[in-house]
Structure 1
C-alpha cells in the first residue's frame, strides 16, 4: 500500500509539474495550473493565485485558505472559476478594484490590500506591490495602482508574483527574492528580453516564467532562460507546464 501511495503521488506530481522548494520549516509545494494561475502549499495552508480556466483544473487540489487576485481582467479575476470552487474557508486577498466586483458571501471574507500595504493573513505575511504598463498613459491596459503584484513570505522564503507588469523600477529594485513568477506576453506585459533583463538585475534565486501566452502565441521561454543564464548565471530558471493543452 505504501508503494502504491508513493507511485500515486509521483504520477500526480508529474502530471501537474509540481516543484518543492525547501524552507526552514518544511517545503513549499508549487503547482502550475494554467497561464498565470498556480497553487502554493505550505505548512498546511493552501494558496490559489488568480484562479482561471474553470474549477475542473483544480480537481485533486486542496480547498484554498487564501486566494490571491492580482487584477480585474478575466484571466486573473475569473468569476466563473471562483463560483465553481469551494471558498467557504477562503480569504480572498485583492486590490480594491477587484474587491468591488466580488459578490458578497462568495468566500469566508475579502481582504483588500493595495500597493505598498502588508497584511498578515492566516499567519502568512503578504505584501502588495505595483504592477503596471510603461509608459504610464490614461489608456493603459494596466494603470499603476489598480492591480497588485504580491510578495508572500513562506518560512524563510520570499515568493514574488509579478501579476501583469512591464519592466518597472519597483520590480528591478526587489531584494532577497527566493522564488519569482515573472510574466512575459505581448502586447499585455513585456517581451522575453525585458523580462530577462529585469530578472538579471533583481536576481531571484529561482525564477519561473509564467503568464506567457500573448496574441502571437506562447513566448519563447527557452530563449528567456538562455538570456538569463548568460546575464545572471546564479539565477536558476525553471520551466513549468503552464499550458498543458498546447
Structure 2
C-alpha cells in the first residue's frame, strides 16, 4: 500500500471512530428515569418522580402516640409501633401530597399540624376534600378520574378495604382508593392503597400496566375477619398477574394490627419462587428505580 492510500484509510478509520464516539456520547445523554422511593414508615412514602417530590399517606406522630385500633389484632399495643427514621420536617419537605384515605395510620393529627396549609394535596373524593378543608388546608384536589399536575398524570383506581363481606360488617373501613402516577418519560407507578387482591386491582393492573406496583402488604386484621389489606397470598397473586413489574411491599411492622412481618413475607415469597420480583424496604431505606 502506497503512502497516499495509507493516509486515506487512516482518515476513513478515524472518521468512523469519531462518528461512533459521537453516537455513543449522544446515547449517554438520553434521559433516564430518576424515580426513587423512600420507605418512611407504615404506608408513608416519599416518591421522587419526574423531578418532583411526592409524599404519600403521612403518619408523622412519635412512637406510641395513639391507642391501638379497637377490635383489631394486638389492640393492646400503642401506635405507631416505631419512631420515624428521619425527622418529620424532612419527611414533609415535598412538592405535593397524596392521601389515599383518611384513616389515622394514613393521615394523622401530627400530619395535620405540621404540613403547610397551602401545600397541594390530592385526595380520593369530595368528602375527603371537605374534611381537609375543615382542617384548614387550602389547596386540596379531589379525583373523580384523573388530573394532570406539573406534567404528571395522577389517576384514581378502585379498591376494597377487606372482603366485601367484611366492609359491610364494619362501615368504619369506608371508601379507599389507589392512585397511578404516569409521565411520558417515566415508568408508571401504581399505589394500590388499603385494598385486598380483587377484581378492582386486576382491572387497574390491566388498564394501566404499571412497571412499579406499591402494595400495602401488612395483612392488617380485624378480629375474626380475613385481612383487610394484602397478605402474602395477595402479593403472590399480584406478581403472577403482573410479572413484568417491580413490586414494593409497604405498610408493615408499624401498626398494631399489621401481623405480617417483612421476614415472613420474604420467606414466603422465596418458597413461591417470586422473591426476585418483590422489594421489601426497611424504614428509612431508599430505592432507586
CA contact (8 A) 1:153 1:159 kept: yes
Q: How many residues end up aligned between the 2 structures?
A: 217
Match of residue 4 from structure 1: none
Secondary structure in structure 2 of the residue aligned to 1:47: strand
Match of residue 100 from structure 2: 70
Match of residue 151 from structure 2: 123
Q: Is 2:182 the counterpart of 1:153? A: yes
Once the 2 structures are TM-superposed, how far is the Cα of residue 198 of structure 1 from its aligned partner?
2.9
Match of residue 200 from structure 1: 240
Once the 2 structures are TM-superposed, how far is the Cα of residue 107 of structure 1 from its aligned partner?
4.3
What does the per-residue CA deviation read over 1:78-102, in whole Å, with 9 as the maximum and x for residues that have no partner? 24213212353x2110022321211
The 1:78/1:124 distance shift into structure 2, 3 A limit, reads same
- Which of 94, 118, 122 aligns to 1:93? It is 122
What does the per-residue CA deviation read over 1:35-73, in whole Å, with 9 as the maximum and x for residues that have no partner? 000001134311010011239743335632221001121
Secondary structure in structure 1 of the residue aligned to 2:159: coil
CA contact (8 A) 1:142 1:164 kept: no
Cα distance in 1, alignment partners of residues 230 and 92 from structure 2? 32
Larger Rg: 2
Greater RCO (Cα-Cα under 8 Å, separation 6 or more):
2
The 1:52/1:204 distance shift into structure 2, 3 A limit, reads farther
5+ residue gaps, structure 2:
1-29, 63-85, 222-227
Alignment of 1:11-90 (within 5 A): 24-54=31-61, 57-61=87-91, 63-88=93-118, 90=119
Once the 2 structures are TM-superposed, how far is the Cα of residue 165 of structure 1 from its aligned partner?
0.5
CA contact (8 A) 1:118 1:126 kept: yes
Q: Which one has a larger percent helix, Structure 1 or Structure 2?
A: 2
TM-score by length of 1: 0.75
What does the per-residue CA deviation read over 1:93-149, in whole Å, with 9 as the maximum and x for residues that have no partner? 0022321211358445110014xx111122210111112121244334534xx2211
TM-score by length of 2: 0.65
The 1:98/1:216 distance shift into structure 2, 3 A limit, reads closer
Cα distance in 2, alignment partners of residues 44 and 85 from structure 1? 21
Match of residue 169 from structure 2: 139
What does the per-residue CA deviation read over 1:154-191, in whole Å, with 9 as the maximum and x for residues that have no partner? 43311111211011112134142211111122313232
Cα distance in 2, alignment partners of residues 40 and 181 from structure 1? 11
Match of residue 220 from structure 2: 186
The 1:128/1:194 distance shift into structure 2, 3 A limit, reads same
CA RMSD of aligned residues (A): 2.9
Secondary structure in structure 2 of the residue aligned to 1:102: helix
Q: Which one has a larger percent strand, Structure 1 or Structure 2?
A: 1
